[in-house]
């Protein structure tokens, strides 16, 4: 007997048939004698629609009202799954974030979980009840509903597993594990039996949306055993070999690859601040107000100045672009720049692997592979186990495929 958390993503609860199938899968774990807590996402497409409605009314909408709207998708599926479970004789009830409560900070739209009161849930689970938690949402210090950023149900699941001291956190999705790259773009991508927390963290943070970055961060910190599985395989996997991907400590991986994965992100935008005076304090004058406006800046390049001015280019989440442009426009006089140039047609491509720590030549292989396809690199950034480049968005798939082959990852 084990205590487990099972999380089902959007495509896994996309319609009533999928929800019935999820209920049957949960029942199998319950019948095997396990204590089970479930976390659900909204039905596939629902959150996109809710976000689009907010944005259509105002690009600079109130983040608290955004949360009120987007959190509703998960409320629906938590209730529906509880009904589906009850229908097949499983004692279940839904929980909204505020009911647990799952307390967060006040950063509406990208809130961080601060604490989960798990005592009541544990007692009920011991009494045979299955809690079905609406993922993606909590309650802020202002007493209002908060959400955790796109893909945030993964973080709900890992946080719940930590709070309940669960043995495993099973993330059920529409692929049967973590691959060397997005299998939808590269059909020859290989499934990884295991991936190190650090590699998964890096891959997630540069766009591999199979797990939300914060969920991996939290799993690493709390030592939660995360397994990525498909909810579409219909073999009963109970007690058998683990068919998905386990996220584990680096020491548990025997054969370390130099490059273990390639990720892309199309959620990027590039902003160039033209004609900035080249003097101390300018970076602070630009990035201070942006950070105060909760705009996360990623890659940054500053050119050498020809005269007394220079250009500064940086990337940010595309959704933050209107806020960034507004903020910089408000501070134009202090910063003293000439013009702002925004580009939304960019993508970030990254190669990740812990083996990079001890091997050289990873970046040059990347540059050569992109050059051979005639793909121009706009910005480069590196970390200990990652190299990222910014390219024109139209070459995203071509670049990912070329790199997958260049690093010998093709199956």
| Site size with Mg ion, rule: CB under 5 A | 2
- The smaller minimum CB distance to ligand ADP, of residues 170 and 311, is found at 170
The label of the residue with tokens 């190299």 reads 387
- The beta strands (E) that lie in 59-121 are given as 92-95, 102-104, 113-116
Asked if 41 interacts with ligand ADP (CB under 6 A), we say: yes
Shortest Å, Cβ 212 to ligand ASP: 7
Contacts with ligand ASP in 44-83 (CB under 6 A)?
47, 73
Residues 6+ apart with CB under 8 A from 390: 268, 270, 299, 315, 346, 347, 348, 377, 378, 379, 380
- The smaller minimum CB distance to ligand ADP, of residues 97 and 261, is found at 261
Q: Is the separation of the CB atoms in 37 and 8 below 8 Å? A: no
Q: Is the separation of the CB atoms in 132 and 95 below 8 Å? A: yes
Asked if 179 interacts with ligand ADP (CB under 6 A), we say: yes
Distance CA 83, CA 198 (A): 38
- Report how far Cα 38 is from the mean position of its chain's Cα atoms: 19
Which of the stretches 5-13, 141-149, 293-301, 352-360 binds ligand ADP when contact is defined by CB under 6 A?
5-13
Distance CA 31, CA 51 (A): 38
Token couple for 384: 């200990």
Burial 245-259 (b: 16+ CB within 10 A, else e): bbbbeeeebeeebbb
Contacts with ligand ADP in 319-348 (CB under 6 A)?
none
Token couple for 1: 């007997």
Q: How many contiguous H segments (helices) and E segments (strands) does the chain have?
A: 13, 20
- The smaller minimum CB distance to ligand ASP, of residues 14 and 347, is found at 14
Asked if 151 interacts with Mg ion (CB under 5 A), we say: yes
Asked if 175 interacts with ligand ADP (CB under 6 A), we say: yes
Shortest Å, Cβ 209 to ligand ASP: 9
Asked if 42 interacts with ligand ASP (CB under 6 A), we say: yes
Shortest Å, Cβ 75 to ligand ASP: 11
Shortest Å, Cβ 7 to ligand ASP: 8
Asked if 9 interacts with ligand ASP (CB under 6 A), we say: yes
- The smaller minimum CB distance to ligand ASP, of residues 152 and 244, is found at 152
Give the x-and-dash track for 299-328 against Mg ion (CB under 5 A): ------------------------------
Contacts with ligand ASP in 136-165 (CB under 6 A)?
136, 150-154
Distance CA 19, CA 41 (A): 11
Asked if 11 interacts with ligand ADP (CB under 6 A), we say: yes
CB closest to Mg ion, residue no:
151
Shortest Å, Cβ 211 to Mg ion: 7
| End-to-end CA, the chain | 37
One of 10, 118, 152, 244 touching ligand ADP (CB under 6 A): 10
CA distances (Å), origin 340, targets 60, 275, 295, 376: 19, 9, 16, 22
Distance CA 326, CA 219 (A): 36
Shortest Å, Cβ 226 to ligand ASP: 14
Burial of 394 (0-12, 13-18, 19+ CB in 10 A): exposed
Give the x-and-dash track for 3-22 against Mg ion (CB under 5 A): ------x-------------
Binding site for Mg ion (CB under 5 A): 9, 151
Binding site for ligand ASP (CB under 6 A): 9-10, 41-42, 47, 73, 135-136, 150-154
Binding site for ligand ADP (CB under 6 A): 9-12, 41, 151, 173-175, 178-179, 181-184, 208-210, 261
């Amino acid at each position: 007997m084990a205590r487990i958390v099972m999380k089902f993503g959007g495509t896994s609860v996309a319609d009533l048939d999928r929800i019935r199938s999820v209920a049957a899968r949960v029942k199998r774990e319950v019948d095997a004698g396990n204590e089970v807590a479930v976390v659900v996402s909204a039905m596939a497409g629902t959150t996109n629609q809710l976000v689009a409605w907010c944005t259509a009314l105002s690009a600079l909408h109130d983040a608290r009202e955004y949360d009120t709207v987007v959190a509703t998708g998960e409320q629906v599926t938590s209730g529906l799954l509880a009904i589906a479970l009850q229908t097949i004789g499983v004692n279940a009830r839904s929980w909204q974030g505020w009911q647990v409560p799952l307390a967060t900070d006040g950063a509406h739209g990208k809130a961080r979980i601060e604490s989960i009161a798990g005592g009541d849930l544990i007692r009920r689970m011991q009494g045979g009840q299955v809690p079905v938690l609406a993922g993606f949402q909590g309650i802020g210090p202002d007493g209002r509903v908060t959400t955790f950023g796109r893909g945030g149900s993964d973080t709900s699941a890992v946080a719940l597993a930590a709070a309940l001291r669960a043995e495993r956190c099973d993330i059920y999705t529409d692929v049967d594990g973590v691959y060397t790259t997005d299998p939808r773009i590269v059909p020859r991508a290989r499934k990884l039996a295991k991936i190190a927390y650090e590699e998964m963290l890096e891959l997630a943070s540069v766009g591999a949306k199979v797990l939300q970055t914060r969920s991996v961060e939290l799993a690493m910190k709390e030592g939660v055993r995360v397994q990525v599985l498909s909810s579409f395989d219909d073999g009963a996997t109970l007690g058998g070999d683990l068919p998905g991907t386990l996220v584990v400590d680096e020491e548990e991986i025997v054969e370390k690859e130099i490059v273990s994965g390639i990720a892309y992100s199309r959620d990027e935008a590039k902003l160039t601040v033209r004609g900035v005076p080249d003097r101390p304090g300018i970076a602070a004058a630009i990035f201070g107000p942006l950070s105060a406006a909760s705009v996360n800046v990623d890659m940054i390049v500053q050119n050498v100045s020809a005269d007394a001015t220079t250009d500064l280019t940086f990337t940010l989440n595309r959704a933050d672009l209107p806020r960034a442009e507004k903020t910089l426009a408000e501070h134009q006089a202090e910063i003293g720049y000439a013009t702002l140039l925004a580009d939304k047609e960019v993508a970030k491509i990254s190669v990740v692997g812990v083996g990079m720590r001890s091997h050289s030549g990873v970046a040059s292989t990347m540059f050569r592979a992109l050059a051979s396809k005639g793909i121009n690199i706009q910005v480069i950034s590196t970390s200990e186990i990652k190299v990222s480049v910014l390219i024109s968005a139209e070459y995203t798939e071509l670049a990912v495929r070329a790199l997958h082959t260049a690093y010998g990852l093709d199956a």
